[in-house]
Amino acid sequence: MKFTQVIVVNPPSPTGYVSNKDSMGGFGQLFPLGATPFPPLDLIYLASYLAEKNYPMTVLESLAQELTKEQLVEKIAALAENETGALVVMRTSAPTLDWDLGICGAIKSKAPNARLAVYGPVVPKVLHRIQKEECLDYIIKGDPDETVEALFNGQAEGETSGLIFRQGKEWIENQGQPFIRELDKLPFPKWELLPYEKYRLPKSSTSSETAFLPIWSSRGCPIGCHYCPYPVGQGLAWRYRSAENVVEEIEHLVNDLGIRYILFRDPMFSLNQKRVLKICEEINNRGVKVKWRCETRIDFLKEETLRAMAGAGCEGINFGVESSDVEIQEGVGRKPISPEQIASHFALCHELGIKTFGFFIIGLPGDTVETIFKTMKFAVEIKPHWIQFTAASPFIGTKLRDWAIERGLAEKDEYAYISSHEAIMGNENLSVAQVHMLHRLAQHIQNYLVNRKGILKSVEQKSALYKAAQRGADFACGITARAIIFGAKAWFSRSIISRPRAERTV
């Protein structure tokens, strides 16, 4: 069947939440009402890919466009009215799957002639659930761009890679679509298709709410940490764009769209440090004035690289520390990074004026009361500008999930978790209730003593009075956090009887 138009959709958030489908490697998380919308990068890439080829296309990003479920359904019905050639392609995620499929049913009721497809990194892992929906016509596995193009052009369904399609009451699954490797050939995201000015980093990530746009300069992560959904959703193979191509996109965002802050969404920005040095060199040679932050591993950042990044506008780096215990790191597939190396890099970032955001996980395999409080204490001592404690979460498709299912800590078919900001599993030493208690304590230290809700956290403020107040707050909050950790550790150690460390290879 040859289609006449494509409607690319990010549906509204489930009632009572704000959905971030780009989070956790594209598996998504739900946040409380009031959180700012975050664009799924694969959605704008798909829309831009189709627009670049001049295919009739409409993109409906319900969060930024502030569309309710009813308004979205009415818009799609109006676009598909009296047509038999409308292809609706909807982005879904793990915590929103049931909600999104319900919206698909509502669309089919209002626009029965439209063909409906769903895609997203979680899709291949939940086919047993998706294939129960009679409203769906197609399921797309992997990067959706080329599969949607082939469908639009009328390529035979049975010959379209990455497609699962209905044939009567049965589903036929074709061979998978390989991940796109030549990323330089992709068009830059056409953010002008959306009200892009509504995307803003929250105050919990910067000193004040900041307008931004994200960039993928690379995809995939070969490290393969057992708890991480990035290798599941993007693959282990690291695919990257050239430095010139990346900086050309930055120039476009700055000069054409007025963007002054960029968030690199690569899971491993500095895997190739020569490329990072070239990106920094290109930014400076072209005179691009922009602030940016990225996420990477400490052991893939030499001092030379950090200094070049600071000189090219990097104002923040997100580091996945996870645990200060090297045995626990090793037990979940991480190449261990010593506490001394972590502390040294955080100190160098402070010296260079790069704000650090430390990620830590509570309740990993092998964690005990002792190791968790050790990690909390370490997180305060290295003085990150911002911090985040999450709870170990058995994301579907990860080795951590297999480990949890084997030990009865997770259900085999469970997928609709809310976020890693809520404890949903224990480990071999701690119950889920105990992990929850420890995680809540860590979150209070995070929110009120380290992050301080953004109070006295600005580095832009230059007045002597502000700086003095900031130093005082840092000192007082650091002392308070250490005291709370010391007292709470004593209480938890008496109240929670942890078994001796067990074998924890995941």
Interval 2-61: pLDDT, tens = 899 999 999 999 999 999 999 998 999 999 998 889 888 999 999 999 999 999 999 999
pLDDT tens-digit readout, 95-124: 999 999 999 999 999 999 999 999 999 999
**pLDDT band of 205, cuts 50, 70, 90:** low
Nearest to 414 by CA among 139, 136, 122: 122
* CATH architecture label of 210-312: 2-Layer Sandwich (3.30)
Cα dihedral 266, 269, 272, 278 sign: positive
* Of the candidates 433, 446, 435, the residue with the CA atom closest to the CA atom of residue 366: 435
Out of 251-255, 336-340, 458-462, least confident range: 458-462
Average pLDDT across the chain, whole number: 93
How far is the CA of 199 from the CAs of 9, 20, 195, 252, in angstroms? 17, 12, 8, 17
pTM score, two decimals? 0.93
Cα(65)–Cα(61) distance, integer angstroms: 6
Domain-by-domain residue ranges, the chain? 5-173, 210-312, 315-506
pLDDT range class, residue 204, cuts 50, 70, 90? low
- Within 179-331, where are the H helices? 230-234, 243-257, 273-285, 303-311, 326-331
How far CA 65 is from CA of 17, 76, 220, 262, in Å, comes to 16, 14, 30, 21
pLDDT at 213 over 90: yes
Asked if the model's pLDDT at residue 503 lies above 90, the reply is no
Residue range 202-215: mean pLDDT, rounded: 73
Q: Residue 324 corresponds to which tokens in the numbers above?
A: 């200060």
Domain 210-312 matches domain 315-506 at the CATH topology level: yes
Question: Position of tokens 């953010």?
Answer: 191
* Angle, CA 245 vertex, CA 244 and CA 246 arms, to 5°: 90
In this structure, what token pair is assigned to residue 494? 């008496």
**What is the predicted pLDDT for the residue at 203?**
60
Choose the weakest-confidence range: 14-18, 250-254, 439-443, 455-459: 455-459
Checking if the pLDDT of 500 tops 50, the result is no
For domain 315-506, give the fold: Transcription Regulator spoIIAA (3.30.750)
SS3 state at 152: helix
Residues of 379-404 as b/e, b for ≥16 C-beta within 10 angstroms?
Answer: bbebbbbbbbbbbbbbbbbbbbbebb
**In contact, 301 and 344? CB cutoff 8 Å:** no
Q: Return the pLDDT at 84.
A: 74
pLDDT digits (tens, 9 = 90+) for 301-357: 999 999 999 999 999 999 999 999 999 999 999 999 999 999 999 999 999 999 999
Q: How many residues does the chain have?
A: 506
Instruction: Please name every residue paired with 29 in a beta bridge, in sequence order, or none if there are none.
Output: 20
CATH topology of domain 5-173: Rossmann fold (3.40.50)
